[in-house]
Amino acid sequence: MAWSPDSRLLAISPESGDVEFWDVARRECVRTISGVGASFEGLCWSPDGKRIAVADKDEAVTIFDASSGAKERSFRFAANCLDFSRDSKRIVAGSGRRFWIWDLQTGKQLQKFKVKHKTTFYVRFAPDDQSLVVTGELTLPTGSARSVAVSRDGRTVAVAQKNNVHLFDSRTGRAAGEPYRHEQLVSSVAFSPTRDLLVSRSSDGKAQFRNSQSRALEATMDLGMSPIHMGYSVFSRDGRMLALVSPDKSTVDLVDAATRKRVRKIQIHEALISLFLPVCFLPDNKELALLAVSPDPEDETRVLYHIDLQDLSSGVLQRRLQGAFQYPSAIACPPQGDVIAVADETVSPRKHCVRVYSTATGKLLAQFDGHVDRIRQLTFSPDGSRLFSASQDTTTLIWDLEKVRAGVARNVPLDRTDVYFVGRFDTGESRDCASSDGLHEIADDGKIGILTKLSRSK
């Protein structure tokens, strides 16, 4: 399926071999292109909304007029991913390792190229229209990975596997030098968003600070043994502060990223031990969102989980998000800082949902349902208009945050998730995902999706 640029129409391809255009607001099919093919590999709208491209299993990419359904042009080659340039004058399409760029006005092939990844499953024109972003795979030497991080320039991918931290060139998928080791299992890796700094955590309680360019070890911090291998790191948006999160000990160590010195240690209720401990810096770099605990007034043997917004420098509570959570597993905030998203798992009834709150007031704005297993990570698009939720159910769902901001939520019951739903990716069994300008997913087979930028589309 594919959304029109104005988000009014959704193009889908049922088994009939037709392309149906559905008006989302009216919930009805308003147009059909018949006899396109038996099955599809991909659909894509042009940015101006005038054309739609269809890749079918008969090894053809066909361009149709989106208004009339008339066939404009067809290219004979196999493709499972395709995209229009921002000016709607070119199209890139291909599969595996081979891609073609065509001029839509003349029908001439402008370029043919081969990427270095073994498998490619996503291609897009970059915003400058002069380069391509390609998603490929890199495969670790043996086994699976626990964590992945992307450098601030997008050129280096760091992967935690067993006792090693592997570094890869995202443009080629090849190893960038020898891996460096910890004494015990590496639980997480994280790049600073503003400086050449890579932080890795291991189960022996050590946090290593390395220069991400020279790979030189600059400092080591001992946080104490972590027997369940869950420690991870979160940078503030300005890169000045680092939160070293240790869920097995229910602690958060706030560290000055420049001096590598501990600023403050936050000890949270012992009921949070072994529970995933979601932590998030707000974009203004003045507040920290983290999990808190209070007694259950109806059952003294139980506790309630909350998300508190604390002043970063003093630790004083500023606001508490509305309501309580049962098993919160992820938290995220967009660049605008106006909302905050929390993933929660409820037991009765069994449900895996994402709740969106106002950062200013702490009030609940919307709830998204759709996953059938624990949500492992939340990530916003760079412009904050879309929210991605990655789950152990092998899917990543996409949600429209602009509708929440527009006040649609005031008139939508919490069970009407379809109002906000945009799309989904089936990613296979996944453990973790990280982002510089998109999602990077780790599969159990050791394969990692990475973004590669190619300056070859002129």
The pLDDT, as a whole number, for residue 439 is 36
- Comparing CA positions, the residue from 275, 266, 198 lying closest to residue 230 is 275
Q: How many CB atoms lie within 10 A of CB 74?
A: 12
The pLDDT, as a whole number, for residue 453 is 39
Question: What are 362's two structure tokens?
Answer: 């702490």
β-strand pairing of 19-23 with 28-33: antiparallel
- Comparing CA positions, the residue from 327, 359, 324, 323 lying closest to residue 340 is 359
Question: What are 295's two structure tokens?
Answer: 């007694």
The pLDDT, as a whole number, for residue 167 is 87
Say how far apart CA 425 and CA 448 lie, in whole Å.
Answer: 15
Give CB contacts under 8 A, 24+ apart, made by 180-184.
180/210, 180/215, 180/217, 182/206, 182/208
The pLDDT, as a whole number, for residue 141 is 55
pLDDT in tens, the chain (458 residues): 677 777 677 777 766 667 888 876 677 888 888 766 656 667 788 888 888 888 876 667 888 888 888 888 888 777 777 888 888 888 888 776 677 888 888 888 888 776 655 555 567 676 566 666 665 555 555 555 677 788 887 778 888 888 889 888 766 667 788 888 998 888 889 999 888 899 998 888 889 999 988 889 999 988 876 555 567 788 998 889 998 887 666 778 899 998 988 888 887 765 554 456 678 889 888 888 887 777 777 777 777 788 889 888 888 889 889 888 888 888 899 888 899 999 988 776 678 899 999 999 999 988 888 888 888 888 887 788 888 888 877 777 888 888 888 776 566 665 566 667 666 655 444 444 433 333 333 333 334 443 333 333 33
Inter-CA distances, 127 with 16, 47, 124, Å: 35, 12, 9
The pLDDT, as a whole number, for residue 11 is 79
- Comparing CA positions, the residue from 83, 93, 116 lying closest to residue 5 is 83
The pLDDT, as a whole number, for residue 198 is 94
Residues with Cβ within 8 Å of 443's Cβ and at least 6 positions away in sequence, in order, are: 144, 427, 428, 429, 430, 431
Q: What domains are defined for the chain?
A: 2-114 (2.130.10.10), 139-439 (2.130.10.10)
- Global pTM value: 0.61
